[in-house]
Structure formats: C-alpha cells, structure tokens
Amino acid sequence: MGRLRSLAVIFIFPFLYCYHDEEPLPKGYYPELYTAEITVDPDYDASVTDMPPVRHATELRKGRLLKGTVAMDIIVTEEISILQFHSGMRVDLNEVLIDGEPIETERDHVGSRLIIDKKLAKGPHRIVVEYETKKSGGLYRMQKENNTMNSVYTKGGEFGTHHYVPCLNDPDRKAKWKVSIEYPPGYFALSNGKVSSYLTGSRFFKNGAKTEFELTPKMSPHLFTFLITKYPKFTRIAKTGQELNIYSTNPSKAEALLQMLTDSFDYLAAIFKPAYPLAKLDVFLEPSIGWAMEHWGLIVYGGNPDRSIMQHLVAHQWFGNLVSPSAWKHAWLSEGFATYWEKQVAKQAPATFERELNIVIDNDRGLEPMVLEPFVTEVVLRRNPWLRYEKGACLLKMIEGMIGQQPLIDAMNKYLEKYQYEAVETSLFFDELLPAFDKIKDKMDGISIQELGKQWTTQPGIPTINEFQDSLVKPFFRR
C-alpha cells in the first residue's frame, strides 16, 4: 500500500472499510483465468431506466453503479465437496453457474464468503457469476464539476477486490485476467492491462463504448483494478520503452508527479531483474482521495505529489506485485521492501532509518511480531502497520550493513527472478541471502541468516543477536 504524509506519517489501509474472513480459503482448487465483462455507469443517479430486478437484464437497474459477469476458470487439484469464494456483502448475485449448472449459494457468518455445497472432481471447472452492486468497499465514485467530470475507481488491497468482482480473494490464488468494460459516452476506461481494442456502441448506453484490455500476467486478486474517467492524460516514455501516464484535472500537479514517476521508474527498472512486464504504468491522480494503492499497471494516487510516496508505489510493481506474499502474515515482503526502496531511491540519509527504528522501538514493545502464526487477522493489520513498513525496512537496512548493498541487491534480484508471478513465504527470501552471509560467517557467531531472519520476523521489537548486529543497529535508535 502507498503511504500518505502531512506533518507526520499517515497510513491509510484498504481493510478499514470492509470485513473479510480471517482464515484463508481451503486448499485444493486454484484459479487460472478470470474473464470479466463489466458495465459501469458513472452517472447512475441520473439513470433513466426503471427495470425491476430480473436475471439476465439487458440494462442497468436504476440505482446500480456496476453490473458484471465474471467467469472463473479453476483447476481442482483433488476432489472437493465444498467450494468457497469471496463476494462483498453489497454485491447482489443474479445467478451462479458451475460448469453451466445453476447453483445455490449461502454466505458465511461474516458475509464476505460464499459457500457452495457441491462435489467437484479433479480437473478444470468454470464458475460464472452474474452480479451488480452500488458503491461499496472498494468501489467508489468521484463527482466533480457539477457532475461533468465524474469518475469511478476501485481499490483492491488486502480485502477490497471482491467488493467489485467476486473472486478467490487470497493473495496466493494468482491468475490471469481478461477484462472488458462498457460505459456511457464521453468517458474512457483503464485497467491493469493495455487497451487491446476500443469499440463504439454499447448494449447498455446510447452512444456508449466498450474497451477490451490485454490479458494480464498472473497476479494476486488484490491487484486487479479498473476505472472510468474523463481526466486528461499526461505522458512520458520510460528508458525501457514503457508508457508512463498520469491522469489528472490539475496540469501542474500532473507534471510534477509525472517527473517523479519517470525518475523512480527509470531508477528502479535499471536495478531490478526481471524487467517490468507490462507495457505501461498509469497513475490516476486525485488529491481528494485519502489513500494510495499500487495496483499492477494502474496506481490510484491520493494527496499531493510526493516523491517518497511515488517511489514506494513504483517499488511495489516488483515487490508485492511481481512476487507477492502467500498470505497477509507475510505482508512485510511487500511493504518492508517498498519502504526500503522508497528511501534508497530518495537517497535519504541514515537519519531516516534512525527515525524508523525509533518508531519500531516506541510502538513494538510487547506487541505482535512481523509474521504471525497461523494467519494474520484484520485487527492486527489495523493495529500494527509499522510491523510491515518500518520494521521490515529496518531489517533490510541492517542486512545491507552486514553484507553490503550490492550483494543485497543481487539477492533481491535472484528472489525476483526465481519467484516471479508466484506467492511466497518469508523464509524463501532469506534462502537467497545464504551465499552472501556465508562470506561473513566469521562475524555471525554461528548464527545463520535463517535464524537471524526468524528472530526479527517472529519476535516483537528488535532482537539482540550478537555484537555485530548490535553495532549496526545501535546507531539507528536510542534505547
């Protein structure tokens, strides 16, 4: 997640607006492809349709912001008798089909998980859901300039995506997305992928249009996003050839943020391997939004242009998006790394890390560690954000001091190359540091990088490992 600052560091999180099951989905089935056909009406309060709620409606119902059909192609790895997926409490399901057969569903006690009592044999299956919804959870509408510059935008993050598209919304359920969006005249649509075709005419809107997008790489569901807007576009081309775009109604802020985006992207793209896999990186800039979110290929940016925030969001395109945490208890693999690179790109002084470690010491005594077993609850994610951001960055800064920055970068790149498009656990990153730590084993008093990493991630506060570590950590905080 991005971070917004005023006079102090402020964290805005997606899980503050909705509820989500704490336990992961059952094992035994995984998505391969989502095919989503979405219709959005940014002017839905002025709808002229008065259709009653009926299945297979060919027009949007009055008072509905979004209507969609999503087909989930899944692979069942072993026979299952119960299927579960996520859908927001304000999402109205018109019909659910499994392999063409209508199916009844029920919601769990929280309300965000749908349960289907049906045996599915090992092999491929298709779930099709027709649905519609108003504004909710991760689906928002911005009304501007007397409704002449409205926008609809979405916010995935930890617990948001299933509020605008039913899906298997756990970070390890990575899949590709094929998306098309219909909307009224005067607007255009953006999503994670590059536009593949633009079609005039719509089933739902007179003189409307439809945009189809390129198939995305395999990604975690919390990264899927789309938006409908009229905002002007400001563009530059990265050194690696990608199109970098800012969409904003404020030209001066757009140009300032575009320069920050270009600088950050060019810097990080020259360091990280593998290369950024998408053809473009869009940023929707709306200062009145109180948060920022690093959706792959389409960032939503709230607040005023800030170099550190922009760098944090760009770093996420690799750490968190290309390689994702397998569960939210490992979220520091996303946020700690983005925070570390936020400061490296900005070339900030070590005093910055001193401040961050002071935050850890002040706030982390007696609280939870960075990685919790068996899983992270929503309450913990709200209560201890610094565990994923500051403490994670401090751990990486300490490792840099032990082995040097280039060996750390080399280990990060091996990690990215080895696990690209996958979701991983914390221990897998520490495994990539073994060669570098082998060269300093005389300073480690027999403590391995896996043991050091385990103590930092599974214990509260700053652990005492040995004199070598303490000599690196002590300059950054006052006990």
- For position 362, what pLDDT does the model report? 65
- For position 43, what pLDDT does the model report? 87
- Residue 448 in tokens: 């391995």
- For position 320, what pLDDT does the model report? 98
Q: Cα dist. 250→6, 103, 305, 310 in Å?
A: 20, 48, 11, 17
- How sure is the predictor about 267, in pLDDT bands with cuts at 50, 70 and 90? very high
Residue with tokens 């969609």: 68
- For position 47, what pLDDT does the model report? 41
- How sure is the predictor about 46, in pLDDT bands with cuts at 50, 70 and 90? very low
- How sure is the predictor about 8, in pLDDT bands with cuts at 50, 70 and 90? very low
Name which residue leads in pLDDT, 64 or 50: 64
Residue with tokens 């360091």: 271
Return the CA Rg of the chain.
23
**Helix/strand/coil for 376:** coil
Mean pLDDT of 426-455: 94
Whether 479 shows a pLDDT value over 60: the answer reads: no
Whether 151 shows a pLDDT value over 50: the answer reads: yes
Give me the helix-helix angle, 390-403 and 350-364, nearest 10°: 130
Q: How far apart (Å, rounded) are the C-alpha atoms in residues 360 and 391?
A: 6
What does pLDDT average to over the chain? 86
- For position 464, what pLDDT does the model report? 77
Q: Render pLDDT for 318-365 as a digit per residue (tens, 0 to 9).
A: 999 999 999 988 999 999 999 999 987 655 555 666 666 666 666 655
Residue 182 has a CB neighbour count (10 Å cut-off) of 24
Whether 257 shows a pLDDT value over 50: the answer reads: yes
- For position 56, what pLDDT does the model report? 32
The residues facing 64 across adjacent strands are: none
Q: Cα dist. 278→153, 259, 349 in Å?
A: 20, 20, 32
- For position 111, what pLDDT does the model report? 77
Q: How far apart (Å, rounded) are the C-alpha atoms in residues 11 and 205?
A: 39
| Span of 142-151, 155-164, 220-229, 420-429 with lowest mean pLDDT | 142-151
Name which residue leads in pLDDT, 145 or 420: 420
- For position 95, what pLDDT does the model report? 96
- b/e 120-157 (16+ beta carbons within 10 angstroms → b): beeeebebbbbbbbeebbbbbbbeeeeeeebbbbbbbb
Cβ distance 190 to 216 under 8 Å? no
Q: How far apart (Å, rounded) are the C-alpha atoms in residues 52 and 435?
A: 65
Rama region for 145: left / alpha / beta (φ>0; ψ in -120 to 50; rest): left
Residue 215 has a CB neighbour count (10 Å cut-off) of 14
Q: Look at residues 205, 184, 221, 183 and name the one whose alpha carbon lies nearest to residue 88.
A: 221
- For position 59, what pLDDT does the model report? 43
Name which residue leads in pLDDT, 114 or 468: 114
**Cis ω before 435 (30° cut-off from 0):** no
Residue with tokens 């950590």: 473
Name which residue leads in pLDDT, 364 or 258: 258
Cβ distance 297 to 265 under 8 Å? no
Residue 327 has a CB neighbour count (10 Å cut-off) of 18
The reported pTM is 0.90
Whether 381 shows a pLDDT value over 70: the answer reads: no
Name which residue leads in pLDDT, 245 or 159: 245
Name which residue leads in pLDDT, 439 or 143: 439
Q: Edge-to-edge strand order for the sheet containing 188-191?
A: 139-142, 151-154, 226-229, 188-191
Mean pLDDT of 264-274: 96
- For position 315, what pLDDT does the model report? 97
Q: Look at residues 110, 83, 107, 88 and name the one whose alpha carbon lies nearest to residue 21.
A: 110
Whether 137 shows a pLDDT value over 90: the answer reads: no
Whether 53 shows a pLDDT value over 90: the answer reads: no
| Span of 116-120, 138-142, 383-387 with lowest mean pLDDT | 383-387
The residues facing 151 across adjacent strands are: 142
Q: Render pLDDT for 189-232 as a digit per residue (tens, 0 to 9).
A: 999 999 999 999 998 999 999 999 999 999 999 999 999 999 99
- For position 474, what pLDDT does the model report? 63
Q: Render pLDDT for 92-124 as a digit per residue (tens, 0 to 9).
A: 999 999 999 999 999 987 778 999 999 999 999
Find all residues with CB under 8 Å of 35, minimum gap 6, and list them. Answer: 70, 71, 73, 178, 179
Name which residue leads in pLDDT, 341 or 383: 341
